[in-house]
Structure 1
Amino acid sequence: MHQPIGVFDSGYGGLTILREIVRKLPEYDYMYLGDNARTPYGTRSFETVYQYTLECVRHLFARGCRLVVLACNTASAKALRNIQQLDLPLMTEMGPDGPDRRVLGVIRPTTEVIGNYSQSGHVGILATRGTVTSESYVVEIEKFFPGLNVFQEACPMWVPLVENGEFASPGADYFVKQHINRLIDKSPIIDTLLLACTHYPLLIDKIRQAAPVGVTIVSQGEIIADSLTDYLQRHPILEEQCSKHGQRTFLTTDSTVDFDRQAAIFYGESIRSVQLTL
């Protein structure tokens, strides 16, 4: 039976997470769903993001996924808790003979380790406005590193720069430098920058150039891949339900031509997607 691990994002960014997961766990089947027809999620209300994310999670479940990773910071911030607490209990038959379904996000695994990167105790979060407004990182980091000082900066131009193919252009330098400077102005002793949006790794060269010397820049891909590995080891019944044929399936709610062209940039290799209607 085909029971892939589902990976969801509002667009292309989650492919940077999937790339690292596949590198770490290549034997599993994966199904990626990008809701490109309704992206971006970062500027939408909590209720809208929740409803859109829930629709996509249900679709992945209907296609055989038992485990879905929300590889999207905005969806993790605005929808994950409701889905886990309100919707999963209605969709899941717990126990060894039932379809044990789980939904995971990217915020908690990141906040469990981010404090380990900092020597000064001052960490900067670079994210979409939706993620910053949700305060999810601030709240979660407090649970694991209560003494850590967290400073946030919303970067509304960064996702459009990436999705319009301008992430390597000279024009991107201005917007990257602007937000790095604003964040460092909040605390000059910030020594760790978390890229809390899956699009931002494509800007990492410019972020490194703009950041002060010695600042550690953390992207989420490897963290999530390690966390998923650990999760599967701790949940053997669920792990056994995941099929292992090394298959990759890519779904998009928008044009497959556009998706395939852009996805190759994020995923690092060419792909062929299938369009779906929710």
Structure 2
Amino acid sequence: MKVPGPIGVFDSGYGGLTVLKEFVKRLPTYDYLYLGDNARAPYGTRSFDTVYNYTLECVRHLFDRGCALVILACNTASAKALRSIQQNDLPKMDATKRVLGVIRPTTEIVGRYTKSGHIGILGTMGTVNSGSYPIEIKKFSPGVSVAQHACPMWVPLVENNEWNQPGADYFVEKDIHKLLATDPLIDTIVLGCTHYPLLMEKIRQYVPRDTQILSQGPIVAASLEDYLQRHKEIAVYCSENGTRQFLTTDDPVTFDRHAAIFFEDGVQSEHLAL
């Protein structure tokens, strides 16, 4: 008989902590095990095969640590690795376990927010090149127009704790203007990377006042709550002691210092050698 274990939350670095923070707010009784692959971040510029292999390796480790459910709190991993893991790897590893991503919950509801029918996506190069957002949005909101723009400097700004410095304004303003120049009718922007919420204040400075900016954390947390209510066969193997554990493939001291910016609570991580 399987023993209940924590819900696994995976990200290439720190961004997934913005999602984990919302999980804890909405579902505080569950145990969570966060794994940041900081030593190999960022994922956004890496090939499909590399992202897939790195993500699968981390998912396997979370399964080995007792997670029956793993959330890929990384848009690039969700875009480049999730489908292959769900369809090809899970049946071989353990068909009773589940791996979910952050793109589908977002695309299911984003159409409700736009009045103009024009949506903008800001993401990493990997997420934008995958085409995942336009493909998924068309499934749920066929009449909506979707424009995308890649922001290659945003993740390094956040990962290097430069997100709140004046130099970040140059890149944020430039990328926002490029997106809006592609489609001036955009009235809803999806932050298609879990690092980007830290740049929210700067983003708001460069978009029209009535533009809606969607951060994924609350959306994915609501989706997780709904999933656990509908899938009791998975929820029963998600333990509820209110614990949070953190793993990083890089230096734990550095991780803990940066993680506090994203998670806002004190973080004590362990090093994981992969």
Same fold per superposition (TM over 0.5): yes
- Give the deviation of 1:70 after TM superposition: 0.1
SS at match of 2:9: strand
Q: 2:106 aligns with which of 96, 107, 110?
A: 110
- Give the deviation of 1:39 after TM superposition: 0.5
Per the alignment, do residues 2 and 257 of structure 1 end up closer, same or farther by CA in structure 2, a change over 3 Å counting? farther
Write the distance in 1 (CA, Å) between the matches of 2:97 and 2:53: 18
Q: 1:86 aligns with which of 85, 88, 92?
A: 88
Q: 1:66 maps to which residue?
A: 68
Could you tell me which amino acid in structure 1 is paired with residue 75 of structure 2?
Answer: N
- Give the deviation of 1:163 after TM superposition: 1.1
SS at match of 2:30: coil
Q: 1:151 aligns with which of 147, 152, 165?
A: 147
- What are the residue-to-residue correspondences of 1:41-60 with 2, within 5 Å? 41-60=43-62
Write the distance in 2 (CA, Å) between the matches of 1:234 and 1:218: 25
Q: 2:204 maps to which residue?
A: 208
User: Structure 2 regions of 5+ residues with no counterpart?
Assistant: none
Write the distance in 2 (CA, Å) between the matches of 1:109 and 1:24: 16
Write the distance in 2 (CA, Å) between the matches of 1:270 and 1:31: 15
Name segments (4+ residues, structure 1) moved above 2 Å. none
Per the alignment, do residues 63 and 198 of structure 1 end up closer, same or farther by CA in structure 2, a change over 3 Å counting? same
Q: 1:197 aligns with which of 193, 199, 202?
A: 193
Contact 2:4 2:237 (C-alpha < 8 Å) held by counterparts = no
1:182 matches 2:178:
yes
Write the distance in 2 (CA, Å) between the matches of 1:42 and 1:237: 34
Contact 2:116 2:185 (C-alpha < 8 Å) held by counterparts = yes
Write the distance in 2 (CA, Å) between the matches of 1:76 and 1:20: 18
- Structure 1 length-normalised TM: 0.97
- Give the deviation of 1:273 after TM superposition: 0.1
Could you tell me which amino acid in structure 1 is paired with residue 141 of structure 2?
Answer: F
Q: 1:160 maps to which residue?
A: 156
- What are the residue-to-residue correspondences of 1:1-278 with 2, within 5 Å? 1=3, 3-93=5-95, 100-278=96-274
- Give the deviation of 1:67 after TM superposition: 0.1
SS at match of 1:180: helix
Write the distance in 1 (CA, Å) between the matches of 2:141 and 2:264: 34
Could you tell me which amino acid in structure 2 is paired with residue 11 of structure 1?
Answer: G
How much identity, in percent, do the aligned residues show?
Answer: 65
Could you tell me which amino acid in structure 2 is paired with residue 17 of structure 1?
Answer: V
- Give the deviation of 1:58 after TM superposition: 0.2
Write the distance in 2 (CA, Å) between the matches of 1:74 and 1:201: 16
SS at match of 2:42: coil
Write the distance in 2 (CA, Å) between the matches of 1:125 and 1:88: 29
How many residue pairs get aligned? The number is: 272
Q: 1:97 maps to which residue?
A: none
Note the alpha carbon deviations across 1:79-118, whole angstroms, 9 max, x for none.
000000000001124xxxxxx2000000000000011110
Could you tell me which amino acid in structure 1 is paired with residue 163 of structure 2?
Answer: F
User: Structure 1 regions of 5+ residues with no counterpart?
Assistant: 94-99
Contact 2:4 2:236 (C-alpha < 8 Å) held by counterparts = no
SS at match of 1:241: coil
Could you tell me which amino acid in structure 2 is paired with residue 147 of structure 1?
Answer: G
Could you tell me which amino acid in structure 1 is paired with residue 172 of structure 2?
Answer: V
Write the distance in 1 (CA, Å) between the matches of 2:43 and 2:237: 31
SS at match of 1:7: strand
